[in-house]
Structure 1
Amino acid sequence: MMTVKEAYKKCKEILAESEIEDEAFEVLCLFEKVTGFDRLGIISHGDEQITDEKLNELLSLVNRRCKHEPLQYLLGSWSFCGFDFCVGKGVLIPRGDTEVVVNLCIDFLKNSASKKVIDLCAGSGAISVVLEKLADAEVTALELSNDAFKFLKKNIKLNNSKVKAVKGDVFTAFCDFEDNSFDLIVSNPPYIKSDDIQTLQTEVQQEPRLALDGGKSGYDFYEAIVKHWSSKLRHGGALAFELGENQSDYVAELMKSQGFENIRTSLDLGGVQRAIIGTML
């Protein structure tokens, strides 16, 4: 038998040996999932025995983490903009960087009399739900992947959201929507170059390729959305994207060529131009 404190120490050591970067934080996350104890709980219950069942469950998760299964998948949920989202194999994990594009969208919608929004490549529904909740927007979420669509529907329900989930492909579904339908189109599209995916962090490579692969140039989705979806915006409506590194200039030119004005970008905490927005006048 092992005490809670001993189990915590053992799990932390296993992760450290596997060179998991923030092993102290990750052990706390896994510990809380299995035992319900946060940092304070581990300290105050440290001398109590941990059951074999809980210890085995904990070690199983730790071993999976050592094989670089994403922490968020192991936990089964992740927080984004203060809301919880179910995540797992087959859906992109919501990231803090995406808050940059969400903030641009909220700022735009504050001054918009109508707030009809479509989120393209919606994935887990993180952007959709947050805009519906924080900007009081009427949001449609479009997603192609069967696996991601299940999470999208689950997260709409989890957050008691009114987002409308629609199954569809960005490259063809524009035909299903009337012109001048939306005040805002937002997308965090796949934007990694196909050849670069094998160079990504091992954890990221376990996320769905469909949500990462932006084609040979990384711009396939930006080009298709700007070309086929811009007409779906009302006069004065906006188009907003999350961006990969060094993509802002190209995407800005794409948008200008389609008639967008007032184009501006926003930086993430690492100083990368992570989001862009422009209005169709």
Structure 2
Amino acid sequence: MRLSQLKLQFIDHLKDGYPSKEIESFFNILAEKYLGMTRLEVALAPELALNEEQLSAFESALKRLKQHEPVQYITGETEFFGLHFLVDKNVLIPRPETEELVDWIIQDNKELQNLKILDIGTGSGCIAISLAKNLKAEVTAFDISEAALKTARKNAKLNKVDVDFRKLDILKLEKLQERYDIIVSNPPYVREQEKEQMQKNVLDHEPKTALFVDDDDALIFYKKIAELAQVSLRQNGALYFEINQYLHEETRDLVENLGFEAELKKDIFGNYRMLKAVR
């Protein structure tokens, strides 16, 4: 089969489940993964004949895409903040709004040295590793999932940074053993009532423990982390959160009631998705 035929087949099989631009993106991502070809090279080589191994890889990917599995899990990798990350079913796929949170932290702290940073709920390690790569800092990261930490450690090695990854359940922690200049977290914050707004690929495939909280205690992680930060942030230290856009006022009120001054920040879509709190 030729490359142009394969692409037409891809479009035909996926057109009922995805927008055309997304299908095009899928095909280009897979072509880069399985053929080592850029988008331009794909466009310039419609008559390229594919071998059986290549066709089998695309066929397998197509079946998984039909089940709405994220293409990042199919390729096993993604990009975040200009860095390469491995991803699998045990970790959330890093989002653009999380890149904005990382950028905020870097812009606030890029002139400082010898920072101590803690990332709570690290998942793939994308926040911790990006900060370690871009700041002069000693970075520690917690997660409840050993499987997630295994992926995060691979990502730290891949990106040539040192991060101290630890398995901990933050909700069971009475206090932090060290003090930090920065505590950052992108904790679970999606309420059960918001599930109907989410895409099938997220609901069916990404780890639920990293996404969802009970409707009646939606800010449980923010409250716990802010309480720990009350005594574990150094003077002039800052707490950074990715937040639920529908609960931005409640999250701000929560941290302010615990003695912090809070600043909300909108993402590129105009939604309040980030919060900074200082002692």
**Post-superposition offset of 1:101:** 1.5
In the other structure, the counterpart of 1:11 is 10
Aligned mates of 1:185, 1:26 — CA distance in 2:
35
In the other structure, the counterpart of 2:97 is 97
In the other structure, the counterpart of 1:250 is 250
The answer to whether residue 73 in structure 2 is matched with residue 73 in structure 1 is: yes
Contact between 1:115 and 1:136, CA under 8 Å: does it hold in 2?
yes
TM-score (norm 1): 0.92
- Write out aligned runs for 1:35-184 (5 A): 35-110=35-110, 112-173=112-173, 175-178=175-178, 181-184=179-182
Contact between 1:114 and 1:183, CA under 8 Å: does it hold in 2?
no
Aligned mates of 1:3, 1:103 — CA distance in 2:
42
The answer to whether residue 42 in structure 2 is matched with residue 34 in structure 1 is: no
**Post-superposition offset of 1:199:** 4.9
TM-score (norm 2): 0.93
Which residue among 178, 194, 200 is the counterpart of 1:196?
Answer: 194
Contact between 1:194 and 1:218, CA under 8 Å: does it hold in 2?
no
Residue ranges of structure 2 left out of the alignment (5+ in a row)? none
**Post-superposition offset of 1:90:** 1.2
**Post-superposition offset of 1:208:** 0.5
| 2:68 partner SS | coil
Residue identity matched to 1:83: L
Contact between 1:100 and 1:267, CA under 8 Å: does it hold in 2?
no
C-alpha offsets along residues 205-234 of structure 1, whole Å, 9 cap, x if unaligned?
111011001222421111111123331101
Aligned mates of 1:242, 1:255 — CA distance in 2:
13
Aligned mates of 2:196, 2:173 — CA distance in 1:
30
Residue ranges of structure 1 left out of the alignment (5+ in a row)? none
Residue identity matched to 1:162: D
Residue identity matched to 1:229: A
C-alpha offsets along residues 81-134 of structure 1, whole Å, 9 cap, x if unaligned?
100110011111101011221122113323545411000001100000111111
In the other structure, the counterpart of 1:215 is 214
Aligned mates of 2:118, 2:176 — CA distance in 1:
13
In the other structure, the counterpart of 1:272 is 271
Figure out how many residues of one structure are paired with residues of the other and give that number.
Answer: 276
Contact between 2:112 and 2:136, CA under 8 Å: does it hold in 1?
no
Contact between 1:11 and 1:59, CA under 8 Å: does it hold in 2?
no
Aligned mates of 1:176, 1:235 — CA distance in 2:
16
